[in-house]
Chains A and B, each alone.
Chain A
Amino acid sequence: MPPKAEVLQGTLDLLVLKTLDTMGPMHGFGIAQRIQQISQDVLRLNQGTLYPALLRLEQRGWISSRWGVSENNRSAKFYLLTRTGRRQLREEAAGWNQMAAVINRVLKATS
């Protein structure tokens, strides 16, 4: 198994937005679970870093939060994507794809 990659600065935001986009409203623990699951445990996420990221996204108005009850009847704070958040996700995803494509091309050309 390759060593776990640290979540890149800035990519965490994208991951959170995408997760909320596909899964609908989720609490912090759920988001963390989901990111680790999807990345098949390749990404090593310090779960604690998620919360400042969530705060930052909320301050920018891309997600909003409300208190709710979890599947096992536990009170938790749920986050959901806002309209500007969705637009932001599209833009960031496009940017990311473009960047990834460019890097891919560069890597192929030199190898």
Chain B
Amino acid sequence: MTESARTLVARFLALFRRPSLDRELDAELRSHLEMAVERNLAQGMSREQARRQAFLDFGGLEQTRQTYRERRGLPFLDALFQDLHFALRMLGKSPGFTAVAVLTLALGIGANTAIFSLIDAVLLRSLPVRDPQQLVVFQWTAHHSPNTKGHYSYMSCPSPNASAEHGCSLSYPMFQQFQPLEDEFSGVTALCGNVGLNLRGNGPASFVQGEMVSGNFFDTLGIGPALGRTLAPSDDQPGAPPVAVLSYGYWQRAFGGDPGAVGRTIWLNNAAVTIVGVAAREFPGLDPGRVRPIWLPLSLSQRTGMDLFGTVSGDHPSLQAGDDIWWVYVVARLKEGTSVGQAQAAVDAIFRNDVLDQTKALFKTEDAPRLVLMPAPQAISGLREQFSTPLAILMTAAGMVLLVACANVAGLMLARSAARQRELAVRLALGAGRKRIAMQLLTESVLLSGAGGVLGILLAYWSVQSLVAFMSHGGLWPSHLAVHLDLRVLGFTVAASVFTGILFGLAPAFRGMRLELAPALKASLRALGTGASAGRWLNLGGGLVVAQVALAILALSGAGLLVRTLENLKSVNPGFDTHNILLFKMDPSLNGYTSGQALSLYSQMLQRIEAVPGVISATYSFDSLLSGNYWDTSFQIEGETPHTQHETLGLAAGPRFFETMGIPLMVGRVFAPKDFSLPPDSLWKPALINQAFARNFFKDQNPLGRHISGVGHQGRGHEIVGIVGDTKFQALRSEIAPTLFVPAGGGEAVFEVRTAVDPRTVTPAVRSIVTQLDSNLPLLSMNTQSDEIDRSLFQERLIARLSSLFGGLALSLACVGLYGLLSYEVAQRTREIGVRMALGARPSDVLRFIVGQGMALSAAGAILGILGALGVTRYLASLLYGVRPFDPLTFLAVALLLALVALAACYTPARRASRVDPMVALRYE
């Protein structure tokens, strides 16, 4: 060990035994002096002289001690330790202040870090592929839609500009023309999604949604296997054995992570397929917002005769579909060194050549069709679309909480600094260095912010966990999407609050520098209570409180509007009885059922389900009401001149649908059993309409017996046999719209079971009925109607709750600030109050005076806040329902709430002031 290192160690160790070392030094010096005195006595001096001489010889005793101490430890650390010790003591002396400041900071830091971490997970994380910036998505734009027979949109496709028609689906033949472009791309791949698969061979039959991809999909994206292999181009060739690749999450969930899953054969829609691998764990799918359980080669359905799209429509996508069915989403990886512009010129030329071909006539020249290459990170939005608005609102609210928190801490620090003015003056007078005092105050602020930060991290961690748990529970958060505490954000919020703490914590030091010692000491509390420096503080402190109240009002107004929206949505009458309905879905056509077979299965199911005790009636329909799904169709009214196309929502409904759902029949009749077994070629099938349909299209004429035609893909004709009550169709938010009900065929169906008991109690019976009829048929999405509605309102509930939480938080913090300000003022003005009372002021006058002051500050803040809210709440408009952004009632309620809370915050200090005893106050020094 070198000497300097040895010295450093010795000095460092000395830091920890300061008291004992101090004692030792004192003992040593004492023994030295005593020996000196003894010697002097021996030399014949008087006792007094001997002492004097000993001290003279020694030199400055205190100086020696000081030099010795400085040399002994590490002066910087030593001072720091002292400061920390002192800071802890000072903070411990005012536990109320410390607790409020630390909690305030923790809330601000915690809330922001949690929300920003969610935002990071949803909005900012990059696509889970290699070099995402090299990937491009093919998108067409034109003035009009193409003249296709089918356009199946699958993934997100953000509009390049608002006016143009656009889409990201292309025909398979067109995709094939892009594949040979080897100069521009290192790979061009196609995918098509949401194919429904009834899966068996792995426990009970289940339903999964797969994605069909071309053979080079994984290679182009740069995704390797976690186990086995991914798909290869050879898997997508004619004659290749049928294979599938699982996603990591699905493999874990459905196969328990069993490595033996690779090589196993499963049955997908009755076709045997071998699992060849599991995709890399980081890859839940190209779009991180949509998890894919399973990938199949694009050509698989062709080769195995697997029916992927059920029997819903005639023109479903397949490799045989021609130029007029657009169904594949095309993604390509730019070749190294090729610019987007070069590649786009090449693909655009091919595209225009193809779509403007006279024989195909997909577009006209004046439609100006173009093919655009969009960078994949922009095109594939992930969860952005779904979450950006609510998260932006929550972010704003959390940001406001942080601002209020900072203002609050600033106010607290200021109040404290004013109160400590005298202490600092005393310390300066005793010779403390100004730098040393500044360091000391700094230590205190940093300690406070540091404690807030640590607590904030804990809070953030906890809130992220519980938020994600809450959102996953509501089905809003994809379970694979991990959220990590964002360190950058944490750093930022901690820095912001530490900075505030330091800035305002140092205020007394700055003021201390300017401090005239004598007057400050002389004036003491008297001058501080009424004098200039307190006046300045009150202005600044008052300003901070006004700002806090304004921010709180702003946050609360937003929250109030969102809460009212939720209440409105909850109390909406959807037009049918939503209680005690069990819903589940099935699609036997995926298992190869013909329409007729499915119909007979359904009627057997209804018969048996209605026999279950507790079940009142049962029916089925193509979609369930309020599910968000809808079918709309054009039609013409026979006998109407001129012949015009109308648009309506449509629903294929089963037997006893209206009775089961509780939708009243207004006039005519509902469907009879025979309506479901009419021959396919019967001319005018019966149909029902709702009142909105009648109002809209028939005005004052009688719709009963009228014929409509051109309904749906097949352009069927229907005779109107009845009118039923209006219901909400798509969602609670949507307007009542004209709706046409036709007899359901044998496609996929949602069953609705009306019960007299809790619908959940009949689920086992329903399941066993289906299993008895065909054990290979999976039931999906078994749920009750009211839970379904709850779930559809989940996002509204989430933002209403969280924004109220943040608003409430902001309000409480603002009121703490107000309380602090007034308490401080009352404490400082005790003497003045005493004088006033001695001169005849009554306690009630004092009470009124203090409360008035608090209320004036709150009113100023409230006015500012409401003005701000008027400017800002219109950004919420798209989220509101049944309430306008400038809803006076909400603003009034918020202002009233503020007045109540502010009154409570003022009351305690005011009461304290009114109880001042003049005699005590005048002697108070």
- Report the Cα distance A7→B60, complex, angstroms: 16
Question: For the complex, is B774 an interface residue (Cβ under 8 Å from A)?
Answer: no
Closest B residue to A33 by beta carbon equals B39
Which residues, 18 to 54 on A, are CB-close (under 8 Å) to B? 27-29, 32-33, 46-49, 51-52
Judging by beta carbons under 8 Å apart, are B35 and A74 in contact?
yes
- The proximity string for B residues 624-646 relative to A, scoring 1 for CB distances below 8 Å and 0 otherwise, is 00000000000000000000000
A14 to chain B, nearest CB (A): 16
Binary interface profile of A, 65-97, with partner B (CB < 8 Å = 1, else 0)? 000001010111100000000000000000000
Bound-state CA distance A29–B39 (Å) is: 11
* B71 adjacent to A76 (CB under 8 Å): no
Q: Is the interface of A mostly helix, strand, loop or mixed?
A: helix
Choose the segment among B5-13, B219-227, B541-549 that binds chain A (4+ C-beta atoms closer than 8 Å). B5-13
Q: Are B3 and A60 interface neighbours, CB within 8 A?
A: yes
Question: Which residues of chain B have C-beta atoms less than 8 A from A72's C-beta?
Answer: 35, 38
Q: A46-B58, A56-B71, A59-B11 are in contact. Are A70 and B35 (CB under 8 A)?
A: yes
Q: CB-CB < 8 A to B34: which residues of A?
A: 74
Q: Are A27 and B10 neighbours in the complex by a CB distance under 8 Å? A: no
Tell me the bound Cα distance from A27 to B33 in angstroms.
12
Contact B64 A59 (CB under 8 A): no
A51 adjacent to B64 (CB under 8 Å) = yes
Q: Which of A32, A59, A61, A76 contacts B28 (CB 8 A)?
A: A76
Query: By the criterion CB–CB under 8 Å, are A46 and B59 in contact?
Result: yes
Do A59 and B59 touch (CB < 8 A)? no
Q: Contact mask B72-85 → A, CB, 8 Å, 1/0?
A: 10000000000000
**Interface: A102 (CB within 8 A):** no
Please indicate the chain B residues that have their CB under 8 angstroms from the CB of A46 in the complex.
Answer: 58-59
Interface residues on A, range: 20 to 34
Would A77 and B28 count as touching, CB distance under 8 A?
yes
- Which residues of the other chain, A, contact B68 by a CB distance below 8 angstroms? 51-52, 55
Between A29, A75, A76, the greatest number of chain B beta carbons within 10 A of the residue's beta carbon is seen for: A29
Answer yes or no: B57 CB below 8 A from chain A CBs: yes
Would A60 and B7 count as touching, CB distance under 8 A?
A: yes
Which of B3, B39, B71 is within 8 Å of A52, CB to CB?
B71
- Contact assessment for B3 and A76 in the assembled complex, using a CB-CB cutoff below 8 Å: no
Cα distance, A77 to B38, chains bound together (Å): 17
In the complex the two chains form, what is the Cα distance from A47 to B54 in whole Å?
10
Shortest CB–CB separation between residue A79 and chain B, in angstroms? Answer: 10
A-B contact count (CB 8 A): 70
| Measured CA separation A72–B36 after assembly (Å) | 12
How many whole Å from B52's CB to the nearest CB in chain A? 14
Report the bound CA distance from A56 to B67 in whole Å: 11
CB <8 Å contact, A49 and B59: yes
CB A26 to nearest CB in B, in angstroms, measures 12
Whole-angstrom distance between the Cβ of B612 and the nearest chain A Cβ:
91
Chain B residues contacting A49 (CB-CB under 8 Å) are 59, 64, 67
Known interface pairs A48-B61, A55-B72; A61-B3 also in contact (CB < 8 Å): yes
Complex CA gap A48/B38 in Å reads 18
Q: Mark B1-29, 1 if CB is under 8 A from A, else 0.
A: 00100110011000000000000110111
Nearest CB of A to B61, in Å: 7
Least CB distance from B572 to A in Å reads 81
Q: Is the CB of A52 within 8 A of B67?
A: yes
Q: How distant is the Cα of A30 from the Cα of B71 in the complex, in angstroms?
A: 22
Q: Kindly list chain A residues whose C-beta atoms are within 8 Å of the C-beta of B27.
A: 75, 77
Q: Which residues of A contact B60 (CB under 8 A)?
A: 48
In the complex, whether B31 has a CB less than 8 A from a CB of chain A is yes
CA distance A74 to B34 in the complex (A): 9
Knowing A46-B59, A47-B59 are in contact, say whether A59-B35 is a contact too (CB < 8 A). Answer: no
Is B59 a contact partner of A29 (Cβ separation < 8 A)?
Answer: no
Inter-chain contact B71/A55, CB cutoff 8 Å = yes
Q: B149 at the A/B interface (Cβ < 8 Å)?
A: no
Interface pair B35/A48, CB less than 8 Å apart: no
- Cα-based distance from A52 to B11 in the complex (angstroms): 13
A47 touches B57 (CB 8 A): yes
Say whether B384 faces chain A, with CB atoms less than 8 Å apart. Answer: no
Given A56-B71, A70-B35, are A51 and B11 also a contact pair (CB < 8 Å)?
no
* Cα–Cα distance between A28 and B650 once the two chains are bound (Å): 106
Pick the residue among A52, A59, A74, A75 that contacts B7 (CB under 8 A): A59
Task: Give the 6 A-B CB pairs with smallest separation, nearest first.
Answer: A48-B64, A46-B59, A48-B59, A29-B35, A59-B10, A59-B7
A-B contact pairs, 21 of them (CB 8 A): A27-B35, A28-B32, A32-B32, A32-B57, A46-B59, A47-B32, A47-B59, A48-B60, A51-B29, A52-B71, A56-B7, A58-B10, A59-B7, A59-B71, A60-B3, A60-B7, A61-B3, A72-B35, A76-B28, A77-B24, A77-B28
